Amino acid sequence: QVQLVESGGGLVQAGGSLRLSCAASGRTFSSYGMGWFRQAPGKEREFAAAISWSGGRTYYADSVKGRFTISRDNAKNTVYLQMNRLKPEDTAVYYCAASTYYSGSYSSEYHYWGQGTQVTVSS
Write out pLDDT tens, residues 42-95: 999 999 999 999 999 999 999 999 999 999 999 999 999 999 999 999 999 999
pLDDT at 115: 97
Give which of 96, 92, 65, 93 is closest to 80, Cα–Cα. 96
Quote the strand ranges of the chain, DSSP E: 4-7, 10-13, 18-24, 33-39, 46-51, 58-60, 68-73, 78-83, 92-99, 112-113, 117-122
Name every residue whose Cβ is closer than 8 Å to that of residue 112 and which is 6 or more positions away in sequence: 1, 2, 3, 4, 97, 98, 99
Q: What is the pLDDT of residues 78-93, one digit of tens each?
A: 999 999 999 999 999 9
- How far is it, in rounded angstroms, from Cα 5 to Cα 34? 13
- How far is it, in rounded angstroms, from Cα 3 to Cα 10? 22
- How far is it, in rounded angstroms, from Cα 38 to Cα 88? 13
